Structure 1
């Protein structure tokens, strides 16, 4: 199985430089659409002029020094609201304030995404003093076979993700290092990992891990003695990431990564799912691990669980109450969904938030984050399923 994604060339972009028209393929690691208007710029462009161009929706293709491009991007970022204003508008609910915050962050990302850089086969950034990005870009977006144009933000994101992948992340619940791939959420929060590592197992025969990501929960179950784990995900890059981590952990013979939308075929005595915790529309690859449009994955897990559990089996829903504290979903809604799916609650294990944002008083939603609780809901079928 290839561990690298396919290149995402969506269209072409055209600009004029020195009186000549140029065209190149458009690449975006995040799948962004090609800009309609592109102008060539260089080191003479000021941050104020760049801001005015971006405000008009004009993309800027940088032709100067790479490090100056990074400095300009930082200068642009300082001129844009970051959505961290702590006070709400008059009469605004917490949910409305959070929606406004997300809109502000999305607009900020769109504007910063208008500063572009050229790529050439290699792949390499075709600018003075550019770093070697070959490994990082191949892992993020695949090969570049000719002239291309990409957002500088994507290049920086690919470089950062490549560092995570090379250095790895120590997971205390595994007492081992795992290696997140680009676009696969790094399990930096220990609360939900500890819950899965400590909850009493209903069986050590077979488990399904739904939405495996890096494979970390599947690995924890295997390390706890579950003889066989089937780990599913709908994203090929997640399956590749999980397969690599499980191989490095020596668990490839016990955990099977499977490209699938939700459940594999058959039934299991234990089914675990850690869906995105917040209802909302994802804007980036990493957002897919945080935001669940209209709670689709959460509802799909609940609605399909009874049909995939063995008699007496347990489904572990690992989720926080942050959506409830932000007013995006109520506890009654969650309970109603559980009941409507033909499920009963057998137990619930709770743990308070320990992550840095729960202690950051400068966070605009500190009040909610500081009260956040992560829970492992043990669910069972309300009635025995007929075979």
Structure 2
């Protein structure tokens, strides 16, 4: 058996190594160069672009400025070449793939600026902030006996940002202004339009005889909380991710709904049937480039297809399945509407109605975004589905 991944470097003519941490699943860098405040941004950019990690020994705040300088060099607008006469316009799916490739390359380059931590999650650099709590929330409790580890500054800043989100929470109109506190690695419910769909759609009449709902892929627990606040007496909420379940448990307890929502670690459906089954699967059928992207990207639409295929078997007579789904994939050329409708039909389901809403996030109006055309046309829908045999 192999042990934890390690990163190796030479410092002061001494060979050294430490554990490697990467929540994105990145492999440890093969080449490492120790650097400090004397390193210029141009030299750092050359090293990072070549795949050489920069192990920082200088001032922490200077490292943050260096990371920003690297990002500016990556994001510097390139001169557009004039299109040749008769040249074809790039397709939406090609634009999406090029965008993903650029994102992946950008992430790899910025991840080359790395720092060493002791086992208790402390960074021993000048002007370094106290980050042990943020690291503990993602990595688990620190242990000084475990030796040092190395991770990227970019990841550390992500941990700090997630810690602040967790402390402050996200205020949601669909919960009457109360807050949901996302944990690191759990998708934050920042797009209020899809929450409003669940908060406002008419509840199925079948709930009158059995006030039970399933929330498939609960994440932060936000949809389970909305259903409980709407009067559903018992919600069974499922997720595969232990982080998501811990996050949902904390949020539901804070909202006073712990006794109304039961959490289960299962893939998709809990046992049994319910008058209402709700699911908000990842919207884009593409391969995630890191474990943290699974909330957005769903290879082959696995979760969407699994929900549709299993829904009829988990609805009571007269029950409804609510599918919350954006059509962004359709505008990107990744999943045609006809394919979705064919999956619904093959699963023995019937569309009762569909409620649409427009996205309100900033990228929808950002003309400089690489996927602006698709985002500007995007519609998010709540599909009310029923088993065809029960109609």
The verdict on a shared fold, with TM-score over 0.5 as the criterion, is: yes
- Asked if the contact 1:359–1:366 (Cα under 8 Å) also holds between the matched residues in 2, the reply is yes
Aligned length: 377
Consecutive unaligned residues in structure 2, runs of 5 or more? none
Equivalent in 365, 368, 373 of residue 379 of structure 2: 373
- Asked if the contact 2:132–2:142 (Cα under 8 Å) also holds between the matched residues in 1, the reply is no
Asked whether 1:243 is paired with 2:237, we answer no
Q: In the alignment, which residue of structure 1 is the partner of 2:130?
A: 132
Equivalent in 335, 346, 351 of residue 341 of structure 2: 335
Asked whether 1:77 is paired with 2:75, we answer no
Q: In the alignment, which residue of structure 1 is the partner of 2:52?
A: 58
Q: In the alignment, which residue of structure 2 is the partner of 1:5?
A: none
User: 1:85, CA displacement in angstroms?
Assistant: 9.5
Cα separation, 2, equivalents of 1:18 and 1:83: 39
With 346-355 and 151-160 compared, the bigger mean Cα shift is at: 346-355
Query: Secondary structure in 2 aligned to 1:279?
Result: coil
With 74-83 and 12-21 compared, the bigger mean Cα shift is at: 74-83
With 241-250 and 22-31 compared, the bigger mean Cα shift is at: 22-31
User: Which has more strand, going by share of residues?
Assistant: 1
Question: For residues 83 and 301 of structure 1, do their structure 2 counterparts lie closer, same or farther at Cα, with a shift above 3 Å needed?
Answer: farther
- Asked if the contact 2:95–2:371 (Cα under 8 Å) also holds between the matched residues in 1, the reply is no
Instruction: Write out aligned runs for 1:1-387 (5 A).
Output: 10-81=4-75, 90-145=88-143, 146-175=147-176, 176-202=178-204, 203=207, 205-384=211-390
Query: Secondary structure in 2 aligned to 1:269?
Result: strand
Query: Secondary structure in 1 aligned to 2:389?
Result: coil
- Asked if the contact 1:84–1:101 (Cα under 8 Å) also holds between the matched residues in 2, the reply is no
Cα separation, 2, equivalents of 1:36 and 1:79: 23
The normalised TM-score by structure 1 is 0.93
Cα separation, 2, equivalents of 1:224 and 1:285: 33
The normalised TM-score by structure 2 is 0.92
Query: Secondary structure in 2 aligned to 1:106?
Result: helix
Question: For residues 64 and 70 of structure 1, do their structure 2 counterparts lie closer, same or farther at Cα, with a shift above 3 Å needed?
Answer: same
User: 1:362, CA displacement in angstroms?
Assistant: 2.2
Cα separation, 1, equivalents of 2:76 and 2:252: 38
User: 1:90, CA displacement in angstroms?
Assistant: 4.1
Deviations 1:259-307 (A, max 9, x none): 1111111111110000011111112344221111111111111111111
Q: CA RMSD in A?
A: 2.0
- Asked if the contact 2:24–2:292 (Cα under 8 Å) also holds between the matched residues in 1, the reply is no
Question: For residues 219 and 82 of structure 1, do their structure 2 counterparts lie closer, same or farther at Cα, with a shift above 3 Å needed?
Answer: farther
Query: Secondary structure in 1 aligned to 2:330?
Result: helix
Cα separation, 1, equivalents of 2:202 and 2:129: 49
- Asked if the contact 1:269–1:310 (Cα under 8 Å) also holds between the matched residues in 2, the reply is yes
Cα separation, 2, equivalents of 1:256 and 1:90: 54
Cα separation, 2, equivalents of 1:126 and 1:137: 14
User: 1:54, CA displacement in angstroms?
Assistant: 1.5
Cα separation, 1, equivalents of 2:126 and 2:139: 22
User: 1:36, CA displacement in angstroms?
Assistant: 1.7
